[in-house]
Chains A and B, each alone.
Chain A
Amino acid sequence: MQGSLNKNIYRGILIISFIAVNAFILFGISNILAFLNTGADRSTMLHVELKSKDVYLPKVNWTSLENPGRPIEMPTLNKIEQDYLDAWYVRNVTYKTNNPYGIEDFYTDSARVNIFETIKLNKPNKIHIDATSISHQPKLEFYSADGQLVVFTDKEVVEYQKVFQNNNLVLTTEDTTAYKVMMLLEDGFWRIRHIEKIIPEKTKINPQIESFVKVEKGQIIVNEKPFIIKGINYYPQASPWDMFGNSFDESVIEKDFNIIKNSNLNSIRIFVQYEDFGKAVVKPEKLEKLKKTLDLAEKVGLKVVVTLFDFYGDYSILNWTLTHRHAEQIVSAFKDHKSIIAWDIKNEPDLDFESRNKETVKGWLTQMIKEIKKFDRNHLITIGYSSPEAALNLIDQVDFISYHFYKNINHFEADYKMLKKATNKPLVIQEFGLSSYRGLWNFYRGSDIHQANYHKKMQENFKKESLAFMSWSLYDFNQIPTSVVGRLPWRKSQQKYFGFIDENGNKKPSFEYISY
């Protein structure tokens, strides 16, 4: 009995170990096969993979596609355009880094040596160039019958360059150039075979059209009448710094707009966040929400200053064209909207002067003003500087001067006079206010009464000279995103209590002094 039991146990162990050994061998073989099947994907030999990331988007306008060779197909034209822009992009990257990575994909054998030779000159002399092209106006000259060769004249290339030697800026230049280009189709890439710089044709200047809003004799004119901005910076109470997010609610916005209108104000300032709106490819649903907001403002009778590029901070020249496309899509969508009074290029860009290089930021702002003017000649342009001193920058480029005033009220008059002396363009105090926060972080010094007194005095100042203002802000907020003022609790707490209406919806004493 005992013997047969043992025998069965041995049998069981033998069978199980046999199965286990087999399973192990099979597992091993399958792993080896799986390993042998990995490695380079053969499809990568053909250039079929889609590069979906947009890295370089200057404005391209084909002026003519007529050519004596063969009618061009739209997909081919798009591919040529893409590869031509990529050729510019890799060349710009190459001259920035002095590393010819990617050049061979977009220049033929004989053409690429010219770029390599230039690198050989620049690299030992520590010269690098930060460059981008802003716009292209190609005209097709010839497309061959077999679809392998194309010649076009890029009649107007706006190029922006910063030239550095030993990391010191030597020159900043913006030029209009023109090129004659021959490209060949090789292994799925359109590659530059010849490129010759030629003299650009004189451009036609677009006739000035009558705009909705204009500046005359130091005044903003709307519907032929002087318009003094009496406004407020607006975020819905429940979604500060996220106005066009998921909690977007038209009824809330309409109610708030009516509160603003009824308190003797005529304008609001709202914010369009660069990333939130989709960067280079603006999301249609965000545009739709912005449109609803602007339509409501028009219905209620408020004018709007739209601040673009909120939370943008890159400014690198190679990526400029991406921001240009962002602005183009938003600005051209609303170029005829009656409620907009001005595009504010960016909120407090002067705060980036130190970290991002003052000249680069100013270059970006200047270029952006030009871009927006290209797409919208109806509305004004301003820049919301963080201080009266910063507002002296680019004073000739903007239509009116906007600055933020959070200093001691005693400085107000001197600052205003300083700017008035510097320019006769209209001035708008685009942000000002005082927090009514009272707590540990400010030793219980602030209060609603303090705030009311501050606004009372400010309004007296404004009334004296009929000044344009936009206060900060309508509501106290429960939540302040970290990206706005950072993590420090004393900053966050302050920022919560700038409103004229508290978190429970009650008007604070300052509300009496919301306008003059």
Chain B
Amino acid sequence: MKKLFYIPVFIIVILIAFSFSYKVMNSEKIGSIILLTKEKTFVAGNPISLTFKLIDDKSPLLYLHHSYGITLIEPINNGNNYTYEIPKAFSKKIGILDYTLILDGNIIFKNRIDIIPNETSSTQLESYFGPRSIHAGLYEYSMLVVVPTDNFDNPLPNNTIVNVHQQFLDNISSKDEKVENFFAWQNIYTRKKAGTILVSSTCKGTDSKELNTIIYPANATNFSINYTRNHNFADGNQLTSFTTSVIKDEYGNEISDGSYVEFLVTSLKNNAILKTNGTTRNGVATAKMLHPPYPDTWNVKAFVTGLAESNSIRVSYKPIINDYPIQFSKDNRRITVGPLKSFMNQLIPDGATVNLHIYNENKFIETKTNTSKEGYTVFNLSNQYYTKTSYSLIIETLGVTKKFENLQYARIAQ
């Protein structure tokens, strides 16, 4: 009776033994092949050889399939032991190396080894940093990606520590990042102050070179304008300069040099809009405008297009004369205007515009325009064109208008 108990125990033991041996056959031993090399993990760059014990004395080929390539190698035979030296091109690169023993076109053994980075060799660092220019503020950043590799150009494993340093003004800081998926990375955030951030990194005693990103000022904010001029007379000759205050971004950085500022000048006299412009240097833009040739008041406002604007200012120009003499020739056909004298009784500089409007019986005929020379200007009414016996003339210059009604002209013989 007791013996009967041994039978199932025996069967179970045999079954368990079989199940183990089946497993072994799959990975370590198929038929008469025994893998003598016990290591499953190798360090890149170290020589790797796989030795099999084969009962048959045929030498199988070993097929290798690795990260970059595929090849076949032949064994070195030593009795029943067959040793396969993994070529350096394969043994120095990390990754899973699948190998297959092939005999007469049949797969007789299949397994894999893992090649891991060589952390004892010297470390190389490859850094990628970008974008290389950002705006001051709170949100923008440059990204530093560091790929530490071993001496065989294999990325170091996950969780390798990379120390990332950064410097901005007086501030130098560093932070550890862990490698994941070949690389460690850190976002280098911008500052409120414009300037340059320098970064570098260290991994396993190897230091990277220095990389930098430039923080440019952010967008301009509203500003004020002012003007300077030589005198306040409307002489059509001097220049008035408009100057902005120092234009800054919202964080107090002077905006980038060369920013374009446009000044719009609205004449209150005739609503004409005049335009001038300047670019900034050290935050200040300057633009100039010729004085009007007649008394006027200007409304001036400046813009950094689409971003910022200034206050409005008013600039008034006084007349330089109240009156001037006009002489007519005997036949009224030669009209001499002048001398035109300025605010200190000096003859006004050449080039003042003088307009002569000609009417016949309230009908407008023509406007003649001359510029002054040495204080004078002369108009001639040719008898070839002005054949009527009566004309009315209006002369205006420097904001002063003079009227002459129904001047008589001799009848022209036809």
What is A's interface to B at a CB cutoff of 8 Å? 69, 95, 110-111, 114-115, 117-118, 120-122, 125, 127, 129, 131, 141-142, 144-146, 148-149, 151, 153, 161, 163, 165, 169-171, 173, 175, 177, 179-180, 182, 184, 193-199
Q: Is the CB of A129 within 8 A of B70?
A: yes
CB-CB under 8 A for A148 and B130, given A131-B70, A170-B102, A171-B102 = yes
**Pairs A–B under 8 Å by Cβ, sample size 25:** A114-B68, A115-B69, A117-B89, A121-B71, A121-B89, A122-B71, A131-B70, A142-B183, A144-B130, A144-B143, A145-B143, A146-B128, A146-B130, A165-B61, A165-B72, A170-B63, A170-B102, A177-B96, A179-B67, A182-B147, A194-B155, A196-B95, A196-B155, A198-B95, A199-B112
Contacting pair B67 A175 (CB below 8 A): no
Which one of A111, A151, A161 contacts B182 once the chains associate, using CB atoms below 8 Å?
Answer: A151
- The complex places the Cα of A193 from the Cα of B153 at a distance, in Å, of 10
Chain B's closest residue to A182 (CB) is B182
Determine whether B357 belongs to the interface, using a CB cutoff of 8 Å to chain A: no
CA A199 to CA B114, docked complex, whole Å? 9
Q: Is the CB of B68 within 8 A of A194?
A: no
Distance (whole angstroms) from the CB of A127 to the closest CB of chain B: 5
Residue positions of B touching A, CB distance < 8 A: 61, 63, 65-72, 87-90, 93-98, 100, 102, 105, 107, 112, 128-132, 141-143, 145, 147, 153-155, 181-183, 185, 187
Q: In the complex, which residues of chain B have a beta carbon less than 8 angstroms from the beta carbon of A129?
A: 70
Check A114 against B89 for contact (C-beta < 8 Å).
yes
Asked whether B71 lies within 8 Å of A149 as measured between CB atoms, the reply is no
Contact: B183 with A182, CB < 8 Å? yes
Q: Is the CB of B128 within 8 A of A197?
A: no
Contact A170 B95 (CB under 8 A): no
Residues of A within 8 A of B107 (CB): 171, 173
Given A144-B185, A184-B128, list of 15 further CB < 8 A pairs?
A: A114-B68, A118-B69, A118-B70, A144-B128, A146-B143, A149-B183, A163-B70, A165-B61, A170-B63, A171-B63, A171-B105, A177-B98, A195-B95, A196-B154, A197-B95
| CA A127 to CA B147, docked complex, whole Å | 34
Shortest Cβ distance from A165 into B: residue:
B72
Q: What's the least CB distance linking A115 to chain B, in Å?
A: 6
* Shortest CB distance B40–A (Å): 12
Q: Are A110 and B130 neighbours in the complex by a CB distance under 8 Å?
A: no
| CB atoms of A145 and B131 under 8 A apart | yes
Complex contacts, B105 vs chain A, CB 8 Å: 169-171
Q: Which 6 A-B pairs have the closest CB atoms?
A: A146-B130, A118-B69, A117-B89, A197-B95, A145-B143, A114-B68
Determine whether the beta carbon of B70 is less than 8 Å from that of A161: yes
Q: How far is the CB of B126 from chain A (nearest CB, A)?
A: 8
With A141-B181, A180-B182 as known contacts, state yes or no: A118 contacts B89, CB within 8 Å.
yes
CB pair B72 A163 closer than 8 Å: yes
B61 touches A121 (CB 8 A): no
By beta carbon, the residue of chain B nearest A94 is B69
Residues of A within 8 A of B185 (CB): 69, 142, 144
With A117-B89, A163-B63, A180-B181 already in contact, the answer to whether A198 and B71 are too (CB < 8 A) is no
Residues of A within 8 A of B153 (CB): 110, 194
Could you tell me if A197 and B61 are in contact, using CB atoms closer than 8 angstroms?
Answer: no
- Inter-chain contact A146/B131, CB cutoff 8 Å: yes
Known contacts A145-B142, A170-B105: does B93 contact A151 (CB below 8 Å)?
no
By a CB distance below 8 angstroms, the chain B residues around A171 are 63, 100, 102, 105, 107
Chain A residues near B95 (CB, 8 Å)? 195-198
Chain B contacts of A125 at CB under 8 A? 71-72
Q: Which residues of B contact A170 (CB under 8 A)?
A: 61, 63, 72, 102, 105
A121-B87, A198-B96 given; A149·B145 CB < 8 A? yes
Query: Which residues from A are CB-within-8-Å of B142?
Result: 145-146
List of A residues within 8 angstroms of B90 by Cβ: 118
Residues of A near B71 (CB, < 8 A) are: 118, 121-122, 125, 127
With A and B bound together, what is the CA distance between A144 and B183 in angstroms? Answer: 11
Does A148 lie within 8 Å of B89, measured CB to CB? no
Q: How far is the CB of B58 from chain A (nearest CB, A)?
A: 14
Q: How many angstroms between the C-alpha atoms of A142 and B142 in the bound complex?
A: 15
Taking a contact as CB atoms closer than 8 A, the residue among B61, B70, B98, B143 that contacts A69 in the complex is B143
Chain A residues whose CB sits within 8 angstroms of the CB of B130 once the complex forms = 144-146, 148
Q: Which of A111, A127, A146, A151 contacts B181 (CB 8 A)?
A: A151
| B94: nearest chain-A partner, CB-CB | A196
Q: Are B182 and A194 in contact (CB under 8 A)?
A: yes
Q: With a CB–CB cut-off of 8 A, which chain B residues contact A194?
A: 147, 153-155, 182
**Residues from chain A with Cβ under 8 Å of B89 in the complex:** 114, 117-118, 120-121
Are A175 and B65 interface neighbours, CB within 8 A? yes
Contacts of A196 in B (CB 8 A): 67, 93-95, 154-155, 182
When C-beta atoms are compared, the residue in chain A nearest to B140 turns out to be: A145
A144 to B127, CA, bound (A): 12
Residue of A nearest to B112 (CB): A199
- Asked if B96 contacts A95 (CB within 8 A), the reply is no
Cβ–Cβ < 8 Å partners of B128 in chain A: 144, 146, 148-149, 184
Separation in Å of the B189 CB from the closest CB of chain A? 12
Q: Which of B69, B93, B183, B185 has the most CB of A within 10 A?
A: B69
Shortest A269–chain B CB gap in Å is 37
Closest Cβ of chain B: how far from A186's Cβ, in Å? 11
B68: chain A residues at CB < 8 Å are 111, 114-115, 118, 195
Contact B69 A95, beta carbon cutoff 8 Å: yes
Chain B residues with CB under 8 A of A131: 70
Q: How far is the CA of A110 from the CA of B143 in the complex (A)?
A: 23
Q: Is the CB of B143 within 8 A of A127?
A: no
Q: How far is the CB of B66 from chain A (nearest CB, A)?
A: 6
How far is A32 from B33 in the complex, measured between Cα atoms in Å? 76
The closest CB in chain A to the CB of B70 belongs to A129
Chain B residues whose CB sits within 8 angstroms of the CB of A195 once the complex forms = 67-68, 95
Task: Report chain A residues within 8 Å CB of B131.
Answer: 145-146
Complexed CA–CA distance, A117 and B69 (Å) = 9
Contacts of B143 in A (CB 8 A): 69, 144-146
Minimum CB–CB distance from A8 to chain B (whole Å) comes to 55
The residues of B that contact A184 with a CB separation of less than 8 Å are 128
Measured CB to CB, the closest approach of chain B to A451, in angstroms, equals 47
Residues on B with C-beta less than 8 A from A149 are: 128, 145, 183
Question: What residues on B are CB-neighbors of A151 within 8 Å?
Answer: 181-183
Using Cβ atoms and an 8 Å threshold, which residues of chain A touch B102?
Answer: 170-171
Nearest A residue to B102 by beta-carbon distance?
A171
How distant is A49 from chain B, measured CB to nearest CB, in Å? 27
Distance (Å) between the CB of A146 and the closest chain B CB? 3
Complex CA gap A27/B132 in Å reads: 54
Min CB distance A92 to B, Å, is 10
Q: Which residues of B contact A127 (CB under 8 A)?
A: 71-72
Query: Which residues of chain A are within 8 angstroms of B98 by Cβ–Cβ distance?
Result: 175, 177, 197
Residue of B nearest to A198 (CB): B96
Check B67–A197 contact: CB distance below 8 A. yes
CB of A89, distance to nearest CB on chain B (Å): 15
* Contacting pair A145 B141 (CB below 8 A): yes
- State the CA gap A111–B67 with chains docked (Å): 11
A142 touching B181 in the complex, CB below 8 Å, given contacts A122-B71, A196-B155 = yes
Q: Provide the bound-state CA to CA distance between A110 and B130, in Å.
A: 22
A142 to B187, alpha carbons, bound, how many Å? 13
Known: A144-B145, A151-B181, A161-B70. A114 touches B93 (CB 8 A): yes
Q: Contact at A173–B181, with CB atoms within 8 Å? A: no
Cα(A370)–Cα(B330), bound, Å: 116
Residues of A within 8 A of B100 (CB): 171, 173
Contact A197 B96 (CB under 8 A): yes
Output the least CB separation between B75 and chain A (Å): 14
Closest to A127 in B: B72
Q: List, in ascending order, chain B residues with CB within 8 A of A153's CB.
A: 181
Enumerate chain B residues within 8 angstroms of A144, measured Cβ to Cβ. Answer: 128, 130, 143, 145, 185
Bound-state CA distance A152–B71 (Å) is 26
Complex: A173 Cα to B101 Cα, angstroms: 12
Q: Which residue of A lies closest to B187 (CB)?
A: A145
Min C-beta distance of B302 to chain A, whole Å? 36
- List the A side residues contacting B129 at CB < 8 Å: 146
